[in-house]
A and B are shown apart, each in its own frame.
Chain A
Amino acid sequence: VSGSREELPLAGVTVVALEQAVAGPLGTRHLADLGARVIKVERPGEGDFARGYDHAVNGLASQFVWLNRGKESFAVDLKSEAGHRAVRALIDQADVFLHNTAPGVVERLGLDSSTLRAANPRLIVVNISGYGTGGPRRSTAPLSWSNIRSSASGTGGGRSARRLGTFARSRPR
């Protein structure tokens, strides 16, 4: 198989992503790598806040470059009637809608799975949440996916302990 986009496994698949930081962008970057058309919906002005993490790669943030190559950027105000209509039109024609917004955001925007799939029954909706959608912390907005993962798995303390051990060993006696 060659590397031409038309011959990639996900050629012809359109993904609309309301994403920021890492979890959403990493997922859709894999899809873009495999040939999907990924349309990244961003806030006008600032966009994905990961754009501003640093300026290490020719003026761009290293994390943003790592996670967003091969995508299209659509900067739109979802709270405006025209902006909302444009995004709905995109999603209604898409194959996948992925988001990693805080709990309740897509519902407030009228972009929840039930609403979207009523208009586009074949749409695949992917919701990346910090604590799941049914548990006691389902409404809690995560501060950091990495911290959640470390805390939930118990590896955070281990990493800290290892760092302390390394620090202790490196100190002159």
Chain B
Amino acid sequence: MTFSGLELPMGPVPALGEHNDAILTELGMRDGPSQAT
């Protein structure tokens, strides 16, 4: 997929569960990550 004048980013490939802490913190559920995951 190409767009003129637009450079699409190629972000990193996530490890499994890499963003769990950040997402649970964002949701205000950081106290119980082991229960969620």
Residues of A within 8 A of B (CB): 1-3, 5, 8-9, 30, 32-35, 39-40, 42, 44, 47, 51, 60, 64-65, 68-77, 80-83, 85-86, 89-90
Contact = CB atoms under 8 A, between A and B. Distances in A.
26 contacts: A1-B3, A1-B6, A5-B9, A9-B6, A32-B11, A33-B1, A33-B9, A33-B10, A35-B9, A39-B19, A44-B16, A47-B17, A68-B14, A69-B13, A70-B12, A72-B19, A73-B14, A73-B16, A73-B17, A73-B20, A74-B19, A76-B20, A82-B35, A85-B29, A86-B24, A89-B27
Contact of B16 (A35, A42, A65, A85): A42
A76 B7 CA distance: 33
Nearest to A3: B7
B23 A70 contact: no
A91 to B, nearest CB: 11
A75 B37 contact: yes
A8 B6 contact: yes
Contacts of B3: 1
Interface of B: 1, 3, 5-20, 22-24, 27, 29, 32, 35-37
Contacts of A9: 6
| Closest 3 A/B residue pairs (Cβ) | A70-B11, A75-B17, A3-B7
Given A2-B7, A70-B11, A74-B19, 6 more contacts: A44-B17, A73-B15, A73-B18, A74-B17, A74-B20, A75-B20
Contact of B10 (A51, A60, A69, A72): A69
